[in-house]
Amino acid sequence: MPAASGPGQPGPVLGPGHGGASIADVAERVTPSIVSVSSTTGEAGGESAGRGHGQGLGSGVVIQPGVIVTNNHVIEGADEIKVISYDGREFVAELVGTDPKSDLAVLRIQGDASALRPVAIGDSGRLRLGDIVLAIGNPFGVGHTVTMGIVSAKGRADVGIIDYEDFIQTDAAINPGNSGGALVDMEGKLIGINTAILSRSGGYQGIGFAIPTNMARPIIDSLLRYGKVVRGWLGVSIQDVDPDLARTLGLPRPMGVLISDVGPNTPAAKAGLRRGDVVLTINGQEVDSARQLRNLVATAGASSTVTMEILRRGARESVQVALGQLPESDAGPAWGAGGAAIVEGLMVEPITPANRSRYSIAARVTQGAVVIGVESGSPARAAGVEPGDVVIEINRTPVLDVATFTQLWSRASGRTAVALHRSGKTIRVIVNK
């Protein structure tokens, strides 16, 4: 007999596989686990910037007694954080740790929070396109709100919102204030943290993004344990395998991720990985993009050992790799998990045939360093540097290759003149380092 959504009124019942639970039942069970998060800063900012000086407003999810996960951008720079429960109780929260690269933050309630009900955490890897989901949060500060939609897409990356992206896309209505709230399945389990929308108006236009729980859980665990995220590091330069590259490598179709270079004395080098190897799986999970490989390595964590299936000269091999710890981007040049050199917010690679094709780099450009990533909030991002740009000069000194770029960029300070090749033209920007 279906559960009722009100006295004597049967609610909408889901199909097979959902145990006959109604949408109202799921919402009623999960809503008490969702809170509003209010932050006060010395400067205007936060989720509701522009609506009140120094006030930020978003949402959060109770994942353990007294422990709440939200988005970093909801509480970034906050001097005071308050949490308001579904039934109107107010708590002061302390910041346990944040991870701007994934836009996650963990808070802990000060005082007795035993009445706050933790949500059940689900397996986002089981999601299928078309699955019904609910988004629960506090849009525009109007109060707890439940919206319904479906899983529109999975594995959305290269959106350009944060450094580590593997979003669930949904058409459940998400608006400013929903950030940090819950995306739940029809078993009432948390499968995502609502984070961003794609919109030209600033409001809901049918495309919302949530961080999947399978990506969020190890980050949350690391923040609770260490107060920071300790990511895994492989130490290789990698690239996607497109049809042309697949033919060159003798592959039947585009598959896996190509290792285009291996840094010296890195975990990859110590494990015997070589330039030209194609990574097919990590711990049994197939990989088909450089960003996915980067995320899997980072999520596995430092000091963990992963099993990689690779294709080397047409033969499949299994390799055990003891991962290292991803160097901080501001600690100087390093061979990063996503490839190439990472220096003060910029990730660059050499001008390779693959990069030339991927970014339409003119044949006349034979020197420089190709930008493949720009850290959110960095001076380079503020100056308008974009992935695909080729850095050809820094302060009027030619950039010959990645090594030259690393030296010049690390030494530069203050107003730094940078010449870029972009779409067949040379442009100049000033980066305030």
Cα separation, 209 vs 197, in Å, equals 6
Res 313: pLDDT: 85
The total domain count for the chain is 4
Domain-located, residue 137: yes
Residue in 39, 48, 73, 166 annotated catalytic = 73
Expressed as residue numbers, the domain containing 254 is 232-325
Specify whether 383 is located in the same domain as 409: yes
Domain-located, residue 426: yes
Res 299: pLDDT: 86
Q: Where does a domain end: 64, 89, 109?
A: 109
Query: Would residue 103 show up in a list of annotated catalytic residues for this protein?
Result: yes
Res 375: pLDDT: 74
Residue in 33, 48, 59, 179 annotated catalytic = 179
Q: In CATH, what number is assigned to the domain containing residue 168?
A: 2.40.10.10
Domain-located, residue 336: no
Q: Where does a domain end: 109, 137, 172?
A: 109
pLDDT digits (tens, 9 = 90+) for 13-27: 444 345 557 899 999
pLDDT of 178 > 80? The answer is: yes
Query: Would residue 73 show up in a list of annotated catalytic residues for this protein?
Result: yes
- Pick from 185, 191, 187, 232: nearest CA to 211: 191
pLDDT digits (tens, 9 = 90+) for 225-279: 888 888 898 988 788 888 877 887 788 889 999 887 787 788 999 999 998 899 9
Higher pLDDT, 111 or 68: 68
Query: Would residue 376 show up in a list of annotated catalytic residues for this protein?
Result: no
Domain-located, residue 330: no
Domain-located, residue 333: no
Which DSSP string do the residues of 174-193 spell out, in sequence order?
--TT-TT-EEE-TTSEEEEE
Specify whether 9 is located in the same domain as 101: yes
pLDDT of 125 > 70? The answer is: yes
pLDDT of 337 > 60? The answer is: no
Domain-located, residue 338: no
Q: In CATH, what number is assigned to the domain containing residue 276?
A: 2.30.42.10
Alpha carbon separation from 408 to 96, 342, 351, 378, 396 (Å, rounded): 37, 13, 18, 17, 10
Q: Is 0.75 topped by the overall pTM?
A: no
Domain-located, residue 331: no
Residue in 99, 103, 166, 171 annotated catalytic = 103
Specify whether 364 is located in the same domain as 321: no
